[in-house]
Structure 1
Amino acid sequence: MKTLRSTLLALAFALACGTAAAATLRVANQGEALSMDPHSLNESLQLSFTGNIYEPLVGRDKQLQLTPLLATRWTQTSPNVWRFELRRNVKFHDGSPFTADDVVFSLQRASAEGSDLRTFTAPIRAVRKVDPHTVELETDQPFSILPSVLSNVYIMSQRWCEQHRAERPVDRRKGVENAASFRANGTGPFRLKERQPGTRTVLARNGAYWGKVDSNVDEVVFTPIANDGTRVAALLSGEIDVMEPVPLQDIDRIKANPQLKVLQGPEMRTVFLVMDQMRDELLSSNVKGKNPFKDKRVRQAVYQAIDIDTIKTQVMRNAATPTGLLVAPAVHGFAPDLNKRLPYDPDASRRLLSEAGYPSGFEVGMNCPNDRFLNDGEICQAVAANLARVGIKAQLQTESKATYFPKVLKRNGSLFMFGWTPATYDAHNPLSSLMATPNDKGQGQFNLGGYSNPKLDALVQKVQSETDDARRNQLIREAFKLHQDDIGHVPLHQQSLAWAAKKNIELVQLPDNFMFYKWVVVK
């Protein structure tokens, strides 16, 4: 009977994908999905991977347009209230039914202390169950993009979390773990089959999935391989089927292989530098009794010391677009007239440092990941060398994101690298998450340097409630200009996506760098 069921399941997969037979997909990435808890880390690899297991109310299609997932319909019943009608006959992987109770529980969990998704739930004042298949969300003020904001807030089973004592999210900042770190129970097209952190994670097709799946993949084996050479060798030898990212120096080599292909495209993530502007004294510096980064002249000196064009051509091999803003052109609200960098000018940097009282420069600790962004360690080495030429001696430490993120998310850094893809594809997201003054409700949750400007905060609130698109874009532009004039952060560039795969594999590459296995076909 078991053999018969397996055969029928394989036939079903084949029918769903033309004539392609069910297949195993072997994926390698330079980084690891650090937890199976979908509320534990607001990071694209993490959300991309767990997004195959869990689902939000509202998702994105292959063109990044909003599409119904666990909610079939949403309407704004009053300026501050959204009503979501939930999909019926959906079951979690353990067979329990999905209801409004799970939505209320999940949104409250995502809003709780320790959640890394509070930046998405911050505008929500209350979540109410109307009936078993309807919920209402009330916001503090009119919020026209709420459905977009919820696209990365995944729904968990209340009963499962309570049974496994996982009612609260895993707090990566404190190293807290619970059952949700290693187990999972979603509604998505794949279920967690095996979890060996740092080694491999295996997903199996959810045969009871409620929706259509454009894939013949019945198993996914995900392997983190941090070393670029090892990852490429695994692809060339046939040990893996898909890898991401492709080391820039190996793109032409892989393209020349008749069995392989490279998928390249623009990415919406902006990579930038964060400076601690909160503390009265930096955690790691030879300057005592004051914080150099509180002085705009010092922040500008850092900015103008960076030779971004050389980083683009030499470090990034032209697979990056320098930027003057923390958003990419594809983000709604992008202001092209502001997308201009301050010129690279070491002499100006030295002059600014001298005016600020640091004629000989100063020492400062610098932290960067070496397995999160494309050539992240190399970029930071180049930045540190640039800073040294103007007298800022950056003591660079590069490390795996497994230890890097818990550190910087606790704001335990003086100068460090970060990257951001607006999950809503709207400028309100970086304004609220990265630039607004941090508070206890989730605003400024990823403003890790503590930049603060009350005028910008007021503009962010206006952007959130404004419904006229032209007026809203003008408010966004004003906020960007304030942040830019303050040198709140140092923008670097948007990187290009580079995936590699066997030629018999069809993939959908999205500019947010999410990889959904429900759209993968192995021919």
Structure 2
Amino acid sequence: MNTRYTAFGAALLATTALTASAVSAETLRWARAAEALTLDPHSQNEGPTTTLMHQIYEPLIIRNMEGEMEPALATSWEPSADDGNVWVFTLREGVTFHGGEEFDSADVVFSLNRAMSETSNFKELLSSVSEVRAAGPYTVEIVTDGPNPLLPNNLTNIMMMDEGWAMANGAEAVQDYAAGEDTFSARNTNGTGPYVLTSREADVRTVLTANSDYWGVGEFPLAVTEIVFTPIQNPATRVAALLTGEVDFIQDVPVQDLARVEEADGMGLATAPQNRNIFFGLNVGAEDLGNDNVEGANPFADVRVREAMNIAINRDAIQQVVMRGQSDPTGAMLPPPVAGWTEELEEYPAYDIEAANALMEEAGYGDGFEVQLDCPNDRYINDEAICQAAVGMFAQIGITVNLSALPRAQHFPLIANGETDFYLLGWGVPTYDSEYVFNFLYHTRTEGRGSWNGTGFSDPEMDEMIVALSSETDLDVRDAAVAELWAMAEEARIYLPIHHQVLNWGISDDWSTVVDADDQVKFKYFEAD
């Protein structure tokens, strides 16, 4: 089966079914290009890591495979009747961690405070929180700086840990991944989730087995009783493993092999738009770049250079040649279903080398310059190939780009540590709200916000407006503020959007599932046919 959605905005929240006839309802062998970076559930806010964490740990609220929010470790949540700055969560009773410890409000208080700490990659999601307190063994109150109607949306990927286990094993602090820190929580787990970590050899093989004491037995299919995960970076090897039956499911079918998988006996294929866009980031804040040949100046600090680069990108050619039709070119820094998206933002500029060269001349860089581009080679669909194509495009306006492609385990710390001047990144929006993008990518990098803003960009007026979004309860006022922020972001042009990514999942005829627009596989929803 191959379903290609063309109405991107409507389809991103929809899902595509993959169905099959079952041989066994036990082991599912899973492969994808990227491995989880860590087992610390609060360290790295990035897709493959969060996907593995969702099998082992659980949040208070979860999005199912259709993108709908539903209760997980919290059974209900509502604003306090006495204080509009307080959200009250009622917790699920009778839940135990894999180690046998009982789950209660102390674990929630510990976990959320841990997720707000400096080395957590999730702290922006809780930037409006001033206090987390237990109001009983199964009641938690989250206090915010002003009413925050969207707080529940921010909790769907923040996992709950057992406080006692963390304290006993020196895991109170979140692993500092960017600094190369290795911790107990980066190698060991103790969650409440449907699967228990049985064995793990990082970058080779991870085995999870069904949690027999899981609270969700009887509420979810739980047809998968064992998960064997194998990261396979090489696209040809990955698709061969699927076609020969060595694995049952891959999340990232290579675009060049879609037809082979679609036509293969015993295979299902589904294609759907993803809640993610791919873009280049530019260091606009430095006085002098560290990886260029211009002495004493920063060419990226000139908006004319940034605009020249923007119109030098041939997005249609990337879609047709590099992505083989499996992308949606865009000028926006957010996918269509995210609140704040507009058709005007979505429009991308025409490819215009003549105008781009004129802008370079006007900016004083008519002779061009040389700069390094840092690119991952194992995170996004054809990521390195996108960068290779861009190298040739920028050469047409005199910019000599030296490409450095690294595994994402080495690439992401470059952004986190401010060690890159020009980089490729992808961004999904699990909250489906623009505030998420602004908090992580546009706010000045501070202790609580801007952790993925590797551009050095800082605008105090934007910062103030971004902070105010979380407590604005008048929808019309908030929508106007979001629109103004996007106008300011467009004018700043610190990022160069390329396209929205498209998902391609392949699965054997032993299983059925739906394609999650966030690319977040949750195996407890899989069914055997």
Q: Using structure 1 for the length normalisation, give the TM-score.
A: 0.94
In structure 1, C-alpha distance between the alignment counterparts of 2:489 and 2:152, rounded to whole Å: 27
Q: Look up the SS of the partner of 1:303 in the other structure.
A: helix
1:437 Cα offset (Å):
1.8
In the alignment, structure 1 residue 338 sits paired with structure 2 residue 338: no
Q: Look up the SS of the partner of 1:465 in the other structure.
A: coil
Q: 2:286 maps to which residue?
A: 279
In structure 1, C-alpha distance between the alignment counterparts of 2:119 and 2:267, rounded to whole Å: 42
Q: Deviations over 1:91-147 (max 9, x none)?
A: 000000001111111111111121111111211111111111111111122211001
Indicate if the aligned counterparts of 1:462 and 1:475 stay in contact, CA closer than 8 A. no
Aligned partner (choices 252, 260, 273) of residue 267 of structure 2: 260
What is the letter of the counterpart of residue 489 of structure 1? Y
Aligned partner (choices 181, 195, 207) of residue 190 of structure 1: 195
Aligned partner (choices 74, 84, 90) of residue 95 of structure 2: 90
1:292 Cα offset (Å):
1.3
In structure 2, C-alpha distance between the alignment counterparts of 1:19 and 1:51, rounded to whole Å: 24
In structure 1, C-alpha distance between the alignment counterparts of 2:212 and 2:357, rounded to whole Å: 63
Aligned partner (choices 488, 500, 503) of residue 497 of structure 1: 503
With a CA cutoff of 8 Å and minimum separation of 6, indicate the structure with the bigger relative contact order: 2
Q: 1:74 maps to which residue?
A: 77
1:522 Cα offset (Å):
3.3
Q: 1:178 maps to which residue?
A: 183
What is the letter of the counterpart of residue 270 of structure 2? L
Q: 1:518 maps to which residue?
A: 524
Note the aligned Cα RMSD (angstroms): 1.5
Q: Look up the SS of the partner of 2:55 in the other structure.
A: coil
In structure 2, C-alpha distance between the alignment counterparts of 1:522 and 1:86, rounded to whole Å: 31
Q: Look up the SS of the partner of 1:160 in the other structure.
A: helix
Bigger shift: residues 154-163 or 62-71: 62-71
Indicate if the aligned counterparts of 1:189 and 1:213 stay in contact, CA closer than 8 A. no
Aligned partner (choices 159, 162, 175) of residue 157 of structure 1: 162
Indicate if the aligned counterparts of 2:148 and 2:471 stay in contact, CA closer than 8 A. yes
Count of residue pairs the alignment pairs up? 505
Indicate if the aligned counterparts of 2:31 and 2:232 stay in contact, CA closer than 8 A. yes
What is the letter of the counterpart of residue 53 of structure 1? I
In structure 2, C-alpha distance between the alignment counterparts of 1:464 and 1:148, rounded to whole Å: 11
Indicate if the aligned counterparts of 2:65 and 2:522 stay in contact, CA closer than 8 A. no
Alignment of 1:65-464 (within 5 A): 65-77=68-80, 78-211=83-216, 212-441=219-448, 443-464=449-470
Indicate if the aligned counterparts of 2:291 and 2:421 stay in contact, CA closer than 8 A. yes
1:341 Cα offset (Å):
1.7
What is the letter of the counterpart of residue 45 of structure 1? P
Bigger shift: residues 282-291 or 223-232: 282-291
In structure 1, C-alpha distance between the alignment counterparts of 2:22 and 2:329, rounded to whole Å: 45
Bigger shift: residues 445-454 or 44-53: 445-454
What is the letter of the counterpart of residue 494 of structure 2? G
1:21 Cα offset (Å):
5.3
Indicate if the aligned counterparts of 1:508 and 1:515 stay in contact, CA closer than 8 A. no
Q: Look up the SS of the partner of 2:390 in the other structure.
A: helix
Indicate if the aligned counterparts of 2:22 and 2:511 stay in contact, CA closer than 8 A. no
Indicate if the aligned counterparts of 2:292 and 2:370 stay in contact, CA closer than 8 A. yes
Alignment of 1:49-64 (within 5 A): 49-64=52-67
Indicate if the aligned counterparts of 1:20 and 1:216 stay in contact, CA closer than 8 A. no
Gaps of 5+ in 2: 1-20
In structure 1, C-alpha distance between the alignment counterparts of 2:160 and 2:295, rounded to whole Å: 47
In structure 1, C-alpha distance between the alignment counterparts of 2:165 and 2:273, rounded to whole Å: 39
Q: Using structure 2 for the length normalisation, give the TM-score.
A: 0.93
Distance 1:290 1:141, change over 3 A: farther
Gaps of 5+ in 1: 1-17
What is the letter of the counterpart of residue 229 of structure 1? A
Indicate if the aligned counterparts of 1:276 and 1:450 stay in contact, CA closer than 8 A. yes
